[in-house]
Amino acid sequence: MIITEILARNSRMYGHETALIERDPEIGSRRVITWKEFDQTANRIANALIAKGIQKGDKVIHLMMNSLEWLPIYFGILRIGAWAVPLNFRFSAEDIRYCVDIAEAKIVFFGEEFIDRIGSIRDRLKSIEHLIFVGPESKTPDYAEPLDTILENVDGEDPGIPIDFSDEAALYFTSGTTGAPKPILLTHRNLEFSCIIENHAHKQMHADNFLCIPPLYHTGAKMHWFGNFIVGAKAVILKGIRPEWIFEAISEEQATIVWLLVPWAQDILIAIENGTIQLQDYKLDQWRLMHIGAQPVPPSLIKRWKERFPSHDYDTTYGLSEATGPGCVHLGFENLHKVGAIGLPGFDWECKIVDEGLNLVPPGDPGELAVKGPCIMKEYYKNPEATAKAIVDGWLMTGDMARRDEDGFIWLVDRKKDVVISGGENIFPVEIEDFLMENNKIQDAAIIGIPDERLGEIVTAIVKVKPGKKMSEEEFFSFCQTLPRYKRPRKVFFDDVPRNPTGKIEKPKLRKKYSGVAESFKID
């Protein structure tokens, strides 16, 4: 079923039931829409776009923070067969201009947070015909039209644009952690199957309530919500990541499923340990599933979590935007004994691990993970060379190094570009990061390679110490003595670990920051 038809069906079946709840704890607000209101708003957006001259195949930029308006606008774009182009809210003005130019977009929907960025580049957005402001009408900049104005006198009937599964649906730009953002073209078939695989993985029922915290522009957050969407189950959009806000939302909205990023789960455990969160103050009996994705998960974190929440199901799914988000590899509730692995091939997916010549590697050996299934992107838009490198004989080359154990479970080793080569040895940072996270004084850790004349690179640790704890360099290096000698960090910096909005460590930033400082201190 086309994804916009799923929305229409939810409206018919559950029209007066709650679809989305927005909570903004910073200002104490709560807003709600029903499935019927969701569907009708999407139709009004669609009809307003048609009135602006937007046709099937045109591109529409979607630049907003999480809000109650986010998803209706997204679905309104899709409903006329236009391409939705959601952008990372951290993109600079020049990043936004670059994406607009690549997409040759005709319209930009943007929120209040982006007034200055859009204003600084508006004269250079050559393809843009309309700038539509989504926010308080009184704050509308003079160069834009307010959303409420374009929706005046627009009806809420489905415009009836024919859409096929093979039609293009959305253009997602990568987060740019390994270079310039690349445009990933997804079809309606990709989006529809993402709903199916997420529901298959996490068994959402109509009575479930999904707490959505990560940014909706990212395939991870939205595609996890898809599992609720396909069965007409409600969701809460939470604007804020403080542990107490998360627990208030879970308790007051009776959330049953929460998808967290590693840093947020760490923050929650710290808040419980230091008494900021008192579990008895919240109603949590209905909370059945905590799952994590978007980055490698330290097994020590899940061990601590299960000590606090022994009745929770835990799961992790692996995915990437080129595979329409999560699900091509899936751990499964029943495989808690394999925590640390990303799991087995997901529903209707195939996986293999290959060497540089694309030959299968023996079990236990590291190689590049390749996946094959119905959610693989159509292409890197306007980049046939990159597409040809990424999709080989129908297999998507993920760029992630992995290994398969004796039971067939896949373990993520590291990003191919993040492997540290020191003295001719390939060193995988994730293994060392997992080790460091076992130290009860360490809140977060990253491993990078920085240049060294003799070894090529040396293993370097960036460590964030937990609040109220102290750690010296001597103590850190003493803790690392149990690592094999070639894996031991030669240098440590006590600093914050930068992560992007989906929780991935921003290693290019760390390499840029610390490159050239290796000579200041080395441990043999």
DSSP 449-478: EEEETTTEEEEEEEEEEPTT----HHHHHH
Distance between CA atoms of 133 and 146, rounded to whole angstroms? 5
User: Could you tell me the two tokens for 373?
Assistant: 């299934």
pLDDT of residue 220: 81
Strand ranges in 363-441 using DSSP code E only, listed in sequence order? 367-372, 379-380, 391-392, 395-404, 410-415, 420-422, 425-427
Residue pair 476/461 in contact by the 8 Å Cβ criterion: yes
- HSE (side-chain half, CA atoms, 13 Å) at 478: 5
Q: Which is it for the CA torsion 20, 4, 171, 95, positive or negative? A: negative
Name the fold adopted by 419-520: GMP Synthetase; Chain A, domain 3 (3.30.300)
Rg of the chain over Cα atoms, rounded to whole angstroms, equals: 23
Strand 168-173 versus strand 145-146 pairing type: unpaired
Instruction: Identify the pLDDT of residue 412.
Output: 82
Q: How many CB atoms lie within 10 A of CB 166?
A: 9
Residue 349, Ramachandran bin (φ over 0: left; ψ between -120 and 50: alpha; else beta): beta
Any idea what the Cα angle at residue 202 is, between residues 199 and 205, rounded to 5°?
65
Q: How much is the pLDDT for 509?
A: 84
Cα–Cα dist 70/87, whole Å:
12
Region of residue 423 (left: phi > 0; alpha: psi -120 to 50; beta: else):
left
Query: Can you give the pLDDT at residue 158?
Result: 96
CA atoms within 13 A on the CB side of 471: 24
- Measured distance CA(207)–CA(231) in Å, rounded: 9
Mean pLDDT by 10 residues, the chain (524 residues): 97 98 96 98 98 97 96 98 94 91 97 96 95 96 96 94 97 69 94 96 97 90 94 97 96 96 88 94 96 78 92 92 92 91 94 94 93 96 94 94 93 76 73 88 90 75 92 92 85 89 78 62 36
Structural element, H or E, at residue 111: strand 107-111
d(CA 329, CA 261): 17
Torsion over CA: 316, 320, 323, 325 (sign)? positive
Are the CB atoms for 96 and 118 separated by under 8 Å? yes
SS3 for 208? coil
Q: How far is the C-alpha of 376 from the C-alpha of 393, rounded, in Å?
A: 12
Cα distance between the two ends of the chain: 60
Helices 3-14, 70-79: axis angle to 10 degrees equals 120
Q: In the beta sheet, which residues pair with residue 352?
A: 370
Query: Within 10 A of 57 (CB to CB), how many other CB atoms are there?
Result: 11
Using the 8-state DSSP alphabet, how is residue 63 labeled? E
pLDDT the model gives residue 522: 36
Distances (CA, A) of 352 to 2, 91, 296, 326, 476: 30, 34, 19, 17, 37
- The Cα–Cα gap between 228 and 369 comes to 29
**500, 437, 480: which is closest to 266 by C-alpha?**
437
Tokens coding 347: 């529903």
CB atoms within 10 A of CB 392: 12
